[in-house]
Homo-oligomer: A and B are copies of this chain.
Amino acid sequence: MSEKIAFMGLGTLGTPIAANLIQDGHEVTVWNRTPGKAQSLLDQGASEADSPKDAVTPGGVIVSVLANDAAVKETVTKEVLEKLGEGGLHISMSTIAPATARRLAEMHEWYGVGYVAAPIFARPEAVTARIGNLCVSGEAKAKERARPIIAPSVKGFFDFGDEVGAANVVKLAGNFMIAASMEMMAEAFTMGEKSGVPRQAMYDMFTQTLFATPIFQGYGRMIHQNNYETVGFKLPLGLKDLNLVLEASSDVQVPMPLANLLRDRLLSAIAKGRDNLDWTALAQGVSDDAGL
């Protein structure tokens, strides 16, 4: 069924998701804080609104892909929710704190608006190829309406139940595990390098055998080359996510020493002026520490 969708957030991930929704026959009105990002989507048939409130149709759907917790709260305001109103739905795809998702869901309920947490695991090109993975959580009725809108954009669709923060917990856990994979490769490759085993030789073996997955193959290539200039996900966004991991784990009293280590790597990378690099540049810290 075709839906009237207000799409908020035209970043590197948001833009290809919006393009998929247009392709799938939905009526898409886009809004972005920084103007000038909508042209390719307008060419594909989207409309553009001057404000989040203007983008919304009563009883329709919001899909948001925003940078952080604050951006979601500033964009999907009470005025926006009031206009969306009874029967409306917000599919919230941003990587935010589980606690924020819970507070947002409560606020939405007050206006009769459904809230689905739907963070996605995918690089932009994987969104276009519709091969990413989506985690959802929230009230069953809201998920039922959300599914035909977002499921066609991914390969894997994983439902983590009614508790609305659950999908955000899983998304944070996943980003933590990706960053941990970087750290382990950086330590292993650097031990190899200083012992006379070329970084690439170790990379080649492990990514063909024990760790033959795109996560290790893709990030590992950047790490063995020590080249972090191709930015898929900016380093400060990685720091934001690791801070969210530590916030969420503090809330439930789970010490995560590896997450702490990763947060400090990212913080140190920013202190060293690496904020324009890909977040994989956390690996450079291992080389720094080894005097390379």
Question: Which chain A residues have a beta carbon within 8 Å of chain B's beta carbons?
Answer: 98, 121, 133, 135, 156, 158, 160, 163, 165-166, 169-170, 172-174, 176-178, 180-181, 183-185, 187-192, 194-197, 201-202, 204-206, 208-215, 245, 248-249, 251-259, 261, 286, 289-291
Contacts and interface: CB of A to CB of B under 8 A. Distances in A.
Chain A binding site: helix, strand, loop or mixed by DSSP? Answer: helix
Given A173-B202, A187-B249, 11 more contacts: A165-B195, A169-B197, A176-B188, A177-B206, A191-B249, A191-B254, A194-B252, A211-B215, A252-B290, A255-B289, A261-B261
A269 to B, nearest CB: 15
Given A121-B209, A196-B163, A180 B180 contact: yes
Contact of A166 (B165, B170, B196, B212): B196
Contact of A177 (B163, B210, B212, B254): B210
Nearest to A167: B197
B252 A195 contact: yes
A213 B110 CA distance: 44
A236 to B, nearest CB: 22
A207 B165 CA distance: 21
Most chain B CB within 10 A, of A160, A184, A249, is at A184
A251 B192 CA distance: 12
Contacts of A197: 160, 166, 169-170
A210 B174 contact: yes
A174 B211 CA distance: 10
A121 B210 CA distance: 9
